[in-house]
Chain A
Amino acid sequence: MSNINIYRPQSKFQYSSYLYIIPAFVFYILFVLFPLGDTLYTSFTEWNGISEKKWVGFDQYIKNLSDKKITSSIIHSFILIIFYSFLPIIIGLLIAGLMIRVKIRGMTTYRAILFLPQILSMIVVGISWRWIYAPKGPLNAGLDFFGLEDVSRAWLGSFDYSLMAVGLIGTWVMFGFTMILFIAGVQKIPTELYDAAKVDGAGAISEFFNVTLPNLRGEIIVALIFTVTLALRNFDLIYITTGGGPGTSTMIPSMFIYKKAFQMGQVGSASSLGIMLTLMIFTLVSLILITFREKK
């Protein structure tokens, strides 16, 4: 049918076509673009939320960048990327590498369970883990059981371990997602590629690096963008587990935005931190896309 030269009617350009996009763009402009512009403007002012905004140029940015608490909160976010992003991606890739050509029964059930942490409110997830990490919770009971009383502690209340404890919750939330994503990706790789590698005498490791990894490029980009942005945002989980404490040992930028704007009356400073967070996320996403772009 398609090889005959048929008349292909084209929808003519009509101004009324814009009517279809207007409702969506009204919401988008009012509740995404305007707030972004508004936040950008406020970030150049000093404002306590009540009085007049006072224009101060880049002062808030300079102050934030020279505030040790703020810079360390940014460093915390980067440490969390290791737990939220790198660990799950490495685990997912290793397991996907082992699963080439394996077709097992019960896969749908496994998949449904492994995906479970993705669908639940982070508040619920945080409450479950607060209990696991509690002084008398399962983790410490387990450690005591194995005679490791010296190791057990109030994990979320510890200056040294709380960031790692929160990070591991992120690993737990993410590893099922990366596993499913990568296993699905591996199963789409044509088996001829593996057969060819075998013929060339490739071992399991070289097979992984030369066939599996390059063919999962798309999935790796997705996993990186998804997990890195979550690690940088991450408000709900920190709020419900540690609130940024003890001290500022688990403080992250989004928590500071909330505290500064709604508890400390530093709305200008909070807004500039918000813009900084946005720029960080835009930069990292662009970097991921550029680094993993298909080489032509």
Chain B
Amino acid sequence: MNYKNKEKFIAHAIFLIGTILVLYPFFSILFLALSEPGKRISGFTLPSGIYFDNFIKAWVGGSFNTGLLNSFIVVVFVVLVTLICATLAAYAFEKLNIFGITPLFALLLIGLVLPYESIVISYYYSMRALGLVNTHLSLILPQIGLSIPFSIFWLRASFKSIPKNLSEAAMIEGAGRWVILIKILLPQMIPALLTLTVLLFMWTWNEFLLALIMIQDEEMRTAPLALSYFAGNKRYGDPAITAAAAIWVALPVLIVYILLQRRFISGMVTGAIKE
């Protein structure tokens, strides 16, 4: 083996070990979920056959149909409203000449670092005072607020990367701010907006603590919340059914990830850098 090949061999070996370490937990619950109901498989054994009974039991027993629907509703509103608000704000920050822009931007930095675990108490009592506990709105409104700082930072950087002469040409021709945004800039922004959509979808879908404190009715639970009750519920204490339930909850994000994994990775890596 020459030097180059040896290097490649080591690289493959490292990645393979990493891959096995990452995938092992997933395969172990997948095997568990696919195992014959009632027949407890232990650690290392492969299932004796493929049974989907656990998936059906989890779906019926954990009311995941409503859980997935609730999560879907919350995600759609959070993503849409955040995208609209953040695009308008990022456009104004980057392309319009605004007085007092620096302090406003500094104010957004607080939201970028703030752990929302510290302020959930205030969310709960405010929502209770407004009579909104146990509603979709109690999950949607705070998550829009929490998503806005990152989204503005993300979109502002993308606006910045669009060459100036594009909008200048339009300005000379007398186009207004609104027309420039919609007709000239937004078409250039589609990749950035798509990546942001994917990230917001993932974060909102996986959100747990807010749902835990706001939602008491079973019909209003989001998918991760339904899963946590399911996993903690003694009646369904069968780990195989819990495993199947976990797969139901992970599935939507997993599908989007498989389709758009490049966006996820580049988004999270460069997104983290922009922070």
Contact = CB atoms under 8 A, between A and B. Distances in A.
A128 B148 contact: no
Interface stretch (B15-23, B47-55, B186-194): B15-23
Interface in B21-44: 21-26, 28-29, 32, 40, 42-44
Interface stretch (A30-38, A66-74, A153-161, A191-199): A30-38
Contacts of A35: 119, 122-123, 126, 142
B1 interface: no
Interface stretch (A57-65, A79-87, A131-139, A206-214): A131-139
Contacts of B152: 24
B228 A172 contact: no
A189 interface: no
B60 interface: no
A141 B10 CA distance: 30
A98 B6 CA distance: 12
Contact of A127 (B99, B246, B273): B246
Given A23-B84, A114-B22, A138-B44, A13 B14 contact: no
Contact of B209 (A24, A42, A258): A258
Given A21-B89, A31-B146, A123-B228, A235 B28 contact: no
A28 interface: yes
A78 interface: no
Nearest to A175: B18
Contacts, number: 298
Most buried by A among B115, B146, B254: B115
Interface residues of B, number: 97
Contact of A9 (B92, B125, B168, B254): B168
Nearest to A117: B22
A122 B117 contact: no
Contact of B242 (A125, A127, A172): A127
Interface of A is mostly: helix
8 smallest beta-carbon distances between A and B, as pairs: A141-B43, A31-B145, A274-B118, A20-B92, A24-B89, A35-B122, A138-B43, A121-B206
Interface of B: 7-8, 10-12, 14-15, 18-19, 21-26, 28-29, 32, 40, 42-44, 81, 84-86, 88-89, 91-93, 95-99, 104, 107-108, 110-111, 113-115, 117-126, 141-142, 144-146, 148-149, 152, 164-165, 168, 171-172, 177, 202, 205-206, 208-209, 212-213, 224, 227-228, 231, 239, 242-243, 246, 249-250, 253-254, 257, 261-262, 264-265, 268-269, 272-273, 275
